[in-house]
Amino acid sequence: MKLLKNPDPVSFQASIKEHLLLHEAENNLPLGILSSLIAGEYRDQAPYLAQVVDHGEVKLVVMRTPPYPALLSFEENQLDHGIIDLVNEDLWKEFGDELSGMTGSKDLVSQFADSWQEVSGKMAILKMAMRIYKLEQVFPVLGVPGSMRPFQKADKSLLTDWLTSFYRDSLAENPTPERIKVMTDRYLSADPRLRGMMIWNYKGKPVSMAGYSGPTTNGIRIGAVYTPPTQRKKGYASACVAGLSQYLLDLGFQFCFLFTDLLNPTSNHIYQQVGYSAVSDVDTFEF
């Protein structure tokens, strides 16, 4: 059993892509991040790209783009504790106290969090419980006034404000202005087939938004769904997500993915109404 690291995302992707595609929906985040790395994003610091291999078979993929948490691939079978300890010991050598947390499928990341406490002496606290959803066919949203359009450069200030509010309201994070600027610029300058942000407009006024990024072989991830407090409970987010999902399917993607906070029953309900089905649960632990 070996832990193999490779700083080059292109050759790393070639070595682990087949393994991740066995569960494409569950692994949409690592697949999407690899696509972004290959496109030149998340390169402020060198990425951590590793795989555990046993007798030529990939058992686990582990990635980190600092300063974000480490990310574990979805694994259908229970992992040997030796793999968990091997990975955590290497993460400790690589990052020490700088590792802010870890994200992965519910049962697996819990085992890693327990091991991390032993390796590092630091407490692992559950920060967010999420659920991955997948859509292959959109159920149209009827009766919601307005229409969808892409964000434009003239909307930059609005996108900056709404992204900041999204992170504060939905993720309980307080991102720096520099981080928000980078994300805003990425959304506005990217190839629209790979990343973008849509506005739901009503009477010429933006009332909701939803973004997309992280393409996989057959799908793409929707995220940053946000509606200002004064415009909520009017169906705008549902209409925007439904419209964006159909737009992405029309581009040729076979399905769309998204993550929801399990503590937010409203978002889980509206996504199912537009055609999303639950795939798996994912937890993020903070160290």
Burial (CB count within 10 angstroms: exposed 0-12, middle 13-18, buried 19+), residue 229: exposed
Task: Specify the pairing of strand 255-261 against strand 219-226.
Answer: parallel
Non-local CB neighbours of 138 within 8 Å, separated by 6+ positions: 242, 245, 246, 249, 274, 275
Q: In a structure prediction context, what are the per-residue pLDDT tens digits for the chain, which is 287 residues long?
A: 999 999 999 999 999 999 999 999 999 999 999 999 998 888 889 999 999 999 999 999 999 999 999 999 999 989 999 999 999 999 999 999 999 999 999 999 999 999 999 999 999 999 999 999 999 999 999 999 999 999 999 999 999 999 999 999 988 889 999 999 999 999 999 999 899 999 999 999 999 999 999 999 999 999 999 999 999 999 999 999 999 999 999 999 999 999 999 988 888 888 999 999 999 999 999 99
Using CA atoms, how far apart are residues 199 and 189, in angstroms rounded to an integer?
A: 16
Burial (CB count within 10 angstroms: exposed 0-12, middle 13-18, buried 19+), residue 171: middle
SS3 state of residue 268: helix
Query: According to the 3-state scheme, what is the secondary structure of 209-225?
Result: EEEEECCCCCEEEEEEE
Q: Determine if residue 146 is left, alpha or beta; phi over 0 gives left, psi from -120 to 50 gives alpha, anything else beta.
A: left
- State the DSSP code for 179: H
The pTM of this model reads 0.94
